[in-house]
Amino acid sequence: MRKHWIAGIALAAPLALAACGGSAPPGTPGAGGGGGGTAGSGQTIKIASLHPLSGSSAADGQQMDNGAKLAVEAVNNAGGIASMGGAKLELLSADSKGAPETGQSEGQRLIQEGAVAIVGTYQSAVSQNVAAVAERNKVPFVIDVSSADAILAQGYQYTFRLQPSGTVLAEGGAQYLSEVSTAAGKPAKKVAILHEQGPFGTAIKDVFTKKAQSLGMEVGPVASYDPAKVSDFTTQVTAVKASGADVLMVAGYYRDGVLVANAVNTVKPTLNAVWGVANGAFDLPQFAKEAGAAGEGFFDSNYHLDGKNPQTQALIKTYKDKYNDDIRTGAVLAYDAVRVIADSLNRAKSADPTTLRGAIAQTNLPSLVAQKGPITFSSTGENQGAFPILMQVQGGKIVQTYPKEFAETAYRYPATAAQ
């Protein structure tokens, strides 16, 4: 009998643990109902941060949650929402576990606990569900990271997106490849593609292929892989080597990005560049550390924090001091998302979600992420300033290299592990 008891604990402990991760600070009971329209001093306005805090994307999710926390602190330290008598923001953090159904139920719970806006969620599939919840409850949802075009193709009124959509990212990637390789005197002729097989990688591959062909590049061979299972890329990279391609485009996530770098380093194909498009590895400081020499010279065309912006530099330092880690762009986008909400609350002079939605649609706010202009939203909710820039791993660091106004140093093309 005693053994049953022990087994019961073993079973219950992780569940309890998971529950702890899921429901951060329990909201004050009976507080629901979203803070009405009246603003008084000492009032707090609840906003929600919904990210994958556990599971395989926990590293990104926790970074983004930290970003949102820092933004709330910054707003409160600066005196709260000025037009509402210095009302303070309160952040409700929740764990989506990267699962669409969990994201959906947590989104619903956060709204019931009085959140007047939601920031999230990293995975496109989760954002898709949360967008539906937000629309039904008429509560604004500001997406920091999630690339799928489909999310905003539903005609939702309450969902806004800060990062560039998959289409913008893929077209930008092909455009930059053409411009950079031509300027370097070695125009890309044949581009091999390695992409993860999910909706993200496939969409990037399709749009990139079309754009690259229209710019006069030949595309092939194309290989896909399962990012959750793949353990080695030497065969695929050998096939790329045999095909005589001069550029290898990679659209994938972190772990597989490191494996690609190791395979390229082992096989040593004659490439002018390994070219990431919205790659989840090649523009992270962690990648430069883990892949070491194998990742030297890798490019990534992606949305990225603006390292030349003094405000961003201050945030990078604050993050490093507080969490002893290098901030990722996702966290800066979460920070921006909270700023957008705070700015809109200030203009709306009300915490009513519907009024807030109207104010968010009118946003015009400079971003901490590299953009071609301030954050403004199109009628579908896309951030019109969002666009990718080109990063390269140089000397174990991620540097911004193109376009010129964002370049920290010049790009090196051709540049692969050859040196």
Q: Which residues form the interface with another protein (CB under 8 A)?
A: 2-4, 6-7, 10-15, 17-18, 21, 54-56, 58-59, 61-62, 197, 221-226, 228-232, 234-236, 238-239, 241-242, 254-255, 258-259, 262, 265-268, 286, 289-290, 292, 325
Min dist CB 370 to another protein, Å, is: 24
Strand pairing of 397-402 and 389-394? antiparallel
Whether the Cβ atoms of residue 355 and residue 346 lie closer than 8 Å to each other:
no
Nearer to another protein, 8 or 373 (CB): 8
Report CA Rg, the chain. Answer: 22
Min dist CB 262 to another protein, Å, is: 7
Nearer to another protein, 108 or 197 (CB): 197
Min dist CB 57 to another protein, Å, is: 8
Min dist CB 232 to another protein, Å, is: 5
Nearer to another protein, 77 or 231 (CB): 231
Residue 91 tokens read as 């952040």
Q: What is the residue-wise DSSP string for 273-303?
A: EEEEES-SSTT-HHHHHHHGGGGTT-EEEE-
Residue 136 CA to residue 350 CA, distance in Å, equals 20
What is the side-by-side strand order in the sheet with 44-51?
A: 88-95, 44-51, 118-120, 141-143, 159-161
Q: What is the residue-wise DSSP string for 383-409?
A: BTTB--EEEEEETTEEEEEESGGG-SS
Nearer to another protein, 13 or 314 (CB): 13
Nearer to another protein, 156 or 323 (CB): 323
Strand pairing of 247-251 and 273-277? parallel
Residue 115 CA to residue 102 CA, distance in Å, equals 17
Min dist CB 220 to another protein, Å, is: 10
Q: What are phi and psi of 209, to 5 degrees?
A: -60, -50
Min dist CB 285 to another protein, Å, is: 11
Nearer to another protein, 267 or 365 (CB): 267
Min dist CB 213 to another protein, Å, is: 18
* Long-range own/partner contacts, residues 164-169 (CB < 8 A, 24 or more apart): 164/303, 164/383, 164/386, 164/387, 164/388, 165/382, 165/386, 166/200, 166/203, 166/204, 166/207, 166/278, 167/203, 167/207, 168/386, 168/387, 168/388, 169/204, 169/277, 169/278, 169/301, 169/302, 169/303, 169/388
Residue 47 tokens read as 């906003």
Nearer to another protein, 144 or 343 (CB): 144
Nearer to another protein, 45 or 53 (CB): 53
Min dist CB 418 to another protein, Å, is: 14
Number of H helices, E strands in the chain: 12, 12
Nearer to another protein, 52 or 353 (CB): 52
Length of the chain: 419
